[in-house]
């Protein structure tokens, strides 16, 4: 790239490049340079403009900030009114529309003997956002406006300038001197999720759907807020024009695309109404997979001459129609909230609704996820609620219609007892998780404590145990599990292996062959891999991936079931909560019994074996100490400790005197450490963790520990200064050396400790300056005695 030195020329060059990259990125979705390179171009342009503000142009990419906040929007008169569309909800209405078009154009209608003349239609999805008009004068964006009532709208020029795929300047050539582009401003599904994630993290209100989010973002008086929202623009037509344009709808859209505007990627030309209906079906099938929400498709007569001939009726064009998809949202009444008990005992609320048709399906239940969601929605029984069905997803309660709340609305209370087995329902506050720099509370879960004595949990546990990704027992469907549990034949997964032919054939729907097949299938699945078996146990929070990880890392059921939570957290991706769940599961007596029975009744685990070599020796002593979260001892403190003491035992045994000799180990850390290990139960527990890490082969390799066995001060450099009374400095030196220390003549940052007697001068000053620990003679004596030196 040749760089023009003249700033004015360089600014023009940069603007061209940046516009091109913006177009590639936001319109074509084909970025051609890395973000960093783009940022460099952008910053260079900004720097030129800052140095010479007279070089700034209104269409410069740096001017995508919409200006200062407004106190109110101005009004805009639409020279060409912004109209709405007539709707068709079924095939017949579409055929009627096509017939009206052909009659209006005097085209042969076609009858039993003769095919009619087909009309060309421009087909596009009907985006669910807001209609917006953009006015370009001589290729420059000069105004943006909302539709308003169709005749007058609001001036949102500042806001539209912040939308990334709206060109501030048209590309190419041939555009009319005055061109009003019309289209939809919307937020993609992904943009909507990200926006709501951000709102949740910031603790602010979330948006109910992408349309509301787009509307709320566009109607901001402060364009910098609009700028922070993931708005996009897609154009579908034109308004005022002064100049030439192609003579078809599709032709115009292609020109708009060439001038840098985004048009729908789904744009198609259909010939005749049957192709329109095919298009409707095709888009309908792909609706869920599209990156944005649509509520139908729009058909427009393609020939502009025909459009003019057909004209308008009231406020709708006779040449266009919206073929709508069935509504995804409906309003209905919340009759009750019931509680379901899942496999892990989680008690979750389910909305029972007055049945309502949503997109052709009767909906009478909707998911409420958890009690936090009930609270967030502010839901009460009797409320009118907006429910939404998206594709095959379970319907969701989106919103309460507050103004319709009846006087006798009742609060939603979590039951104290399990609705299935009557055992207590326990509330567990989920541990706060950190996401980025923020701490997010994950709320509470409610669990029935009945475990496998609760029929709901038992059924789910067995369904999970036999499922395809677990033990994969063929032919043991939900209905059969239900019978096995209800008849009392099975009260744990291990009981499956005791079933007899007589018992099975007595069940409803079983005959000779089917009974034999079922028993055969149960016997066939007796040699699962360790990973499948762990997954099949249904440990809360342990999905297939975690099960595989446990199997791969620890290699045997024995190790997995005995692993302490503090050891499990060393496995990649296992956090404190999951570690706790795994440990608690195996610690429970009932689970131990069931596992024991499974093994006794013939389950033979495959792939049991060694520890993963990746894991072995992956832990350093400093890491281990850091993870203990000893008050005052963070990572660097732990590193300093381990540099002085090579073993956990030595660290636990260290007295205040030895701790004092640890370089730059603060007093707070010293007392934190001593208090932490003052508790003997704690010491034992920590030693157990260490032992288990060693047993599992995950223990740190400690080359230094090997070298310094019996040499408590090895690797340390000491300095003696001033006069000593008990012995000469030479004797003191010998004692220190007998413990492995090196004794040097001068103090440096590497000095471990200085022993200072009366009369000490510059060496003591230097030690203080470098924060090197200092001991007096008494301190030295105690240390020597402690390490068994006879004086
Ligand atoms: S054409 C005279 N095409 O639907 C033609 N509208 O119900 C006017 N819309 O206000 C609009 N996608 O906000 C047209 N491909 C599309 C559309 C579309 C969404 C919206 C637009 C309009 C409303 C009409």
Q: Which residue out of 236, 264, 290 has the highest number of ligand 1 atoms within 8 Å of its CB and is therefore the one to mutate?
A: 236
Contact of 463 with 610, CB cutoff 8 Å: no
- Whether residues 35 and 170 fall in one domain: no
- pLDDT tens column, 678-700: 999 999 999 999 999 888 877 66
Average of per-residue pLDDT across 340-350: 91
Please tell me the predicted confidence (pLDDT) of residue 136.
97
- Whether residues 470 and 515 fall in one domain: yes
Q: Which tokens sit at 555?
A: 């290699």
- Whether residues 573 and 594 fall in one domain: yes
699 by Cβ neighbours in 10 Å (0-12 / 13-18 / 19+) ranks as buried
Helix (H, G, I), strand (E, B) or coil at 538: coil
Average of per-residue pLDDT across 466-480: 92
Q: Based on the residue annotation, tell me whether 126 is a catalytic residue of this protein.
A: yes
Q: How confident is the model at residue 701 (pLDDT cuts 50, 70, 90)?
A: low
Please tell me the predicted confidence (pLDDT) of residue 66.
67
Please tell me the predicted confidence (pLDDT) of residue 112.
52
Please tell me the predicted confidence (pLDDT) of residue 433.
46
Q: Which tokens sit at 399?
A: 């919103």
Per the annotation, does 421 bind a ligand?
yes
The whole-angstrom distance between residue 103's C-alpha and the CA centroid of its chain comes to 54
In the listed set 494, 525, 556, which residue is the last one of a domain according to the structure? 525
- pLDDT tens column, 210-259: 888 999 899 899 999 999 999 999 999 999 999 999 999 999 999 999 99
Q: Report the distance separating Cα 487 and Cα 142, nearest Å.
A: 76
Per the annotation, does 454 bind a ligand?
yes
- Whether residues 221 and 255 fall in one domain: yes
- Whether residues 467 and 555 fall in one domain: no
Residue 95: is its pLDDT beyond 50? yes
Residue 414 lies in a domain: no
In the sheet that holds 130-137, the strands lie side by side as 140-146, 130-137, 178-187, 231-242
Please tell me the predicted confidence (pLDDT) of residue 111.
59
Residue 412 lies in a domain: no
CATH of the domain at 751: 3.40.50.10190
Q: Report the distance separating Cα 633 and Cα 307, nearest Å.
A: 78
Q: How confident is the model at residue 702 (pLDDT cuts 50, 70, 90)?
A: very low
Cβ of 262: how many Cβ atoms within 10 Å? 20
In the listed set 525, 546, 570, which residue is the last one of a domain according to the structure? 525
Q: How confident is the model at residue 461 (pLDDT cuts 50, 70, 90)?
A: very high
Average of per-residue pLDDT across 255-274: 96
Average of per-residue pLDDT across 649-676: 88
Please tell me the predicted confidence (pLDDT) of residue 109.
66
Ligand 1 centroid from CA 159, angstroms: 20
**Residue predicted with more confidence, 478 or 618:** 478
Ligand 1 centroid from CA 83, angstroms: 8
Closest to 565 (Cα-Cα) out of 556, 573, 557, 575? 575
Q: Where is 240: in which H helix or E strand?
A: strand 231-242
Q: Where is 351: in which H helix or E strand?
A: strand 347-358
Helix (H, G, I), strand (E, B) or coil at 653: helix
Which of 200-204, 476-480, 621-625 is least confident?
Answer: 200-204
CATH of the domain at 609: 1.10.150.20
Per the annotation, does 418 bind a ligand?
yes
CATH of the domain at 312: 3.30.470.30
Q: How confident is the model at residue 272 (pLDDT cuts 50, 70, 90)?
A: very high
Cβ of 103: how many Cβ atoms within 10 Å? 10
Q: Which residue out of 80, 150, 180, 184 has the highest number of ligand 1 atoms within 8 Å of its CB and is therefore the one to mutate?
A: 184
Among candidate residues 126, 459, 733, 763, the one labeled active-site is 126
Ligand 1 centroid from CA 87, angstroms: 11
Q: How confident is the model at residue 614 (pLDDT cuts 50, 70, 90)?
A: low
Please give the number of the atom of ligand 1 that sits closest to the Cα of 126. 12
Which of 250-254, 333-337, 476-480 is least confident?
Answer: 476-480
Average of per-residue pLDDT across 445-464: 92
- pLDDT tens column, 150-170: 899 999 999 999 999 999 999
Q: Report the distance separating Cα 559 and Cα 663, nearest Å.
A: 39
- Whether residues 490 and 634 fall in one domain: no
Residue 758 lies in a domain: yes
Q: Percentage of the chain surpassing pLDDT 70?
A: 93
Which of 42-51, 64-73, 223-232, 481-490 is least confident?
Answer: 64-73
- pLDDT tens column, 96-137: 999 999 999 988 766 555 567 899 999 999 999 999 999 999
Q: Which tokens sit at 469?
A: 């990704």
Q: How far is CA 294 from CA 131, 291, 331, 589, in A?
A: 13, 10, 19, 54
- Whether residues 91 and 127 fall in one domain: yes
- Whether residues 475 and 570 fall in one domain: no
Locate the DSSP E strands across 91-224: 120-127, 130-137, 140-146, 152-154, 178-187
Which of 74-83, 136-145, 316-325, 358-367 is least confident?
Answer: 358-367
CB-side exposure of 300: number of CA atoms within 13 Å?
28
Alpha helices in 146-207 (DSSP H): 157-160, 189-202
Please tell me the predicted confidence (pLDDT) of residue 94.
96
- Whether residues 234 and 167 fall in one domain: yes
Cβ of 494: how many Cβ atoms within 10 Å? 19
Structural domain of residue 51, as residue ranges? 7-63
Q: Which tokens sit at 644?
A: 């002085």
Residue 343 lies in a domain: no
Q: Report the distance separating Cα 143 and Cα 560, nearest Å.
A: 66
Question: What is the tally of structural domains in the chain?
Answer: 5
Cβ of 384: how many Cβ atoms within 10 Å? 18
Q: Report the distance separating Cα 547 and Cα 540, nearest Å.
A: 11
Closest to 584 (Cα-Cα) out of 599, 604, 568, 570? 568
Per the annotation, does 124 bind a ligand?
yes
Please tell me the predicted confidence (pLDDT) of residue 442.
57
Residue 396 lies in a domain: no
In the listed set 324, 350, 382, which residue is the last one of a domain according to the structure? 324
Q: How confident is the model at residue 618 (pLDDT cuts 50, 70, 90)?
A: low
- Whether residues 288 and 174 fall in one domain: yes
Q: Which residues line ligand 1 (CB under 6 A)?
A: 83-85, 124, 126-127, 131, 147, 184, 236-237, 298, 317, 320, 322
- Whether residues 158 and 190 fall in one domain: yes
Please tell me the predicted confidence (pLDDT) of residue 432.
47
- Whether residues 49 and 194 fall in one domain: no
Which of 105-109, 189-193, 627-631 is least confident?
Answer: 105-109
Average of per-residue pLDDT across 728-747: 83
303: CB partners within 8 A, 6+ apart: 120, 247, 248, 249
Q: Which tokens sit at 718?
A: 């000491």
Residue 440 lies in a domain: no
Closest to 167 (Cα-Cα) out of 49, 26, 304? 26
Q: Which tokens sit at 164?
A: 């990334």
Please tell me the predicted confidence (pLDDT) of residue 438.
44
- pLDDT tens column, 749-770: 778 888 888 888 888 888 887 7
Residue 43 lies in a domain: yes
Q: Report the distance separating Cα 115 and Cα 109, nearest Å.
A: 8
Locate the DSSP E strands across 422-471: 425-429, 433-435, 438-440, 444-448
Cβ of 235: how many Cβ atoms within 10 Å? 21
Q: How confident is the model at residue 573 (pLDDT cuts 50, 70, 90)?
A: confident
Residue 318 lies in a domain: yes
Closest to 739 (Cα-Cα) out of 655, 623, 605, 644? 644
Residue 654: is its pLDDT beyond 60? yes
Q: Which residue out of 78, 82, 84, 293 has the highest number of ligand 1 atoms within 8 Å of its CB and is therefore the one to mutate?
A: 84
DSSP string, 471-529: T--TT--HHHHHHHHHTTS-SSGGGGGG--HHHHHTSTT--HHHHHHHHHHHHHT---B
Question: Does the reported pTM lie above 0.85?
Answer: no
Residue 68: is its pLDDT beyond 60? yes
| Highest mean pLDDT pick, 176-185, 642-651, 723-732 | 176-185
Please tell me the predicted confidence (pLDDT) of residue 704.
40
Contact of 243 with 177, CB cutoff 8 Å: yes
Which of 371-380, 609-618, 755-764 is least confident?
Answer: 609-618
Query: How many residues in total does the chain contain?
Result: 791
| Highest mean pLDDT pick, 30-34, 133-137, 639-643 | 133-137
């Amino acid at each position: 790239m040749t760089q023009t030195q003249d700033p004015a020329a360089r600014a023009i060059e940069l603007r061209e490049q940046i516009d091109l990259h913006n177009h590639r990125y936001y319109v074509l979705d084909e970025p051609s340079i890395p973000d960093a390179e783009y940022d460099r171009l952008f910053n260079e342009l900004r720097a030129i403009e800052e140095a010479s503000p007279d070089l700034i142009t209104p269409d410069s990419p740096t001017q995508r900030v919409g200006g200062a906040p407004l106190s109110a929007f101005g009004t805009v008169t639409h020279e060409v009114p912004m109209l709405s569309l007539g709707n068709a909800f079924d095939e017949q209405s579409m055929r009627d529309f096509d017939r009206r078009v052909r009659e209006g154009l005097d085209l042969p209608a076609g009858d039993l003997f003769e095919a009619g003349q087909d009309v060309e239609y421009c087909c596009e999805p009907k985006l669910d956002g807001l209609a917006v008009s953009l006015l370009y004068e001589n290729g420059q964006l000069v105004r943006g406006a909302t539709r308003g009532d169709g005749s007058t709208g609001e001036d949102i020029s500042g806001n539209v300038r912040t939308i990334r795929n709206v060109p501030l300047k048209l590309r190419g050539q041939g555009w009319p001197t005055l061109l009003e582009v019309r289209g939809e401003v919307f937020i993609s599904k992904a943009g909507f999720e990200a926006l709501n994630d951000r709102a949740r993290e910031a603790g602010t209100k979330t948006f109910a759907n992408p349309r509301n989010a787009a509307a709320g973002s566009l109607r901001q008086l402060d364009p910098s807020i609009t700028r922070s929202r993931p708005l996009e623009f897609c154009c579908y037509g034109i308004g005022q024009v002064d100049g030439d344009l192609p003579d078809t709808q599709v032709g115009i859209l292609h020109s708009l695309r060439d001038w840098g505007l985004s048009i729908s990627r789904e744009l198609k030309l259909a010939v005749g109404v049957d192709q329109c209906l095919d298009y409707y079906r095709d888009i309908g099938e792909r609706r869920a997979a599209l990156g944005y929400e649509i509520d139908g498709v729009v058909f427009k007569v393609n020939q502009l001459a025909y459009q003019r001939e057909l004209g308008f009726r009231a406020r709708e064009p006779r040449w266009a129609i919206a073929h709508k998809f069935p509504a995804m949202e409906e309003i209905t009444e919340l009759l009750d909230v019931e509680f379901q008990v899942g496999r892990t005992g989680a008690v979750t609320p389910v909305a029972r609704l007055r049945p309502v048709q949503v997109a052709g399906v009767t909906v009478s239940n909707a998911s409420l996820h958890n009690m936090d969601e009930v609270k967030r929605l502010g839901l009460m029984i009797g409320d009118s609620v907006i429910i939404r069905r998206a594709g095959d997803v379970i319907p969701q309660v989106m919103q309460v219609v507050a103004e319709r709340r009846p006087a006798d609305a009742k609060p939603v209370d979590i039951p104290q007892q399990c609705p299935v087995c009557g055992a207590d329902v326990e509330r567990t506050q989920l541990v706060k998780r950190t996401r980025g720099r923020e701490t997010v509370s994950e709320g509470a879960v409610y669990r029935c404590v009945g475990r496998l004595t609760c029929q709901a949990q038992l059924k789910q546990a067995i369904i999970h145990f036999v499922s395809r990704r677990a033990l994969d027992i063929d032919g043991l469907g939900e209905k059969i599990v239900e019978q096995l549990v209800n008849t009392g034949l099975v009260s744990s997964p291990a009981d499956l292996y005791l079933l007899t032919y007589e018992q099975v054939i007595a069940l409803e729907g079983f005959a000779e062959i089917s009974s034999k097949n079922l028993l055969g299938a149960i016997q066939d699945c007796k040699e699962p891999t360790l990973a499948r078996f762990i997954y099949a146990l249904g440990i809360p929070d342990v999905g297939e991936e975690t099960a595989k990880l446990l199997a791969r890392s620890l290699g045997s059921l024995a190790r997995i079931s005995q692993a302490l939570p503090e050891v499990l957290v060393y496995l990649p991706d296992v956090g404190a909560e999951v570690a706790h769940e795994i440990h608690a599961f195996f610690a429970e007596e009932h689970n131990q019994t069931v596992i024991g029975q499974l093994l006794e009744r013939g389950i033979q685990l495959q792939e049991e074996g060694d520890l993963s070599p990746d894991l072995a020796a992956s832990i350093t002593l400093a890491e281990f100490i850091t993870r203990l979260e000893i008050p005052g001892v963070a990572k660097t403190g732990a590193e300093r400790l381990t540099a002085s003491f090579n073993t956990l035992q030595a660290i636990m045994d260290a007295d205040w005197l030895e701790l004092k000799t640890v370089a730059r180990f603060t007093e707070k850390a010293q007392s934190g450490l001593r208090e932490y290990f003052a508790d003997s139960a704690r010491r034992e527990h920590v030693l157990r963790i260490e032992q288990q890490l060693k047993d599992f082969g995950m223990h740190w390799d400690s080359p230094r520990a090997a070298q310094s066995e019996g040499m408590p001060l090895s690797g340390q450099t000491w300095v003696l200064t001033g006069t000593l009374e008990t012995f000469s400095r030479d004797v003191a030196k010998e004692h220190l050396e007998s413990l492995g220390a090196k004794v040097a003549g001068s103090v440096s940052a590497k000095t471990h400790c200085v022993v200072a007697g009366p009369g000490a001068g510059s060496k003591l000053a230097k030690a203080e300056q470098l924060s090197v620990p200092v001991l007096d003679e008494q301190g030295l004596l105690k240390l020597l005695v402690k390490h068994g030196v006879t004086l």
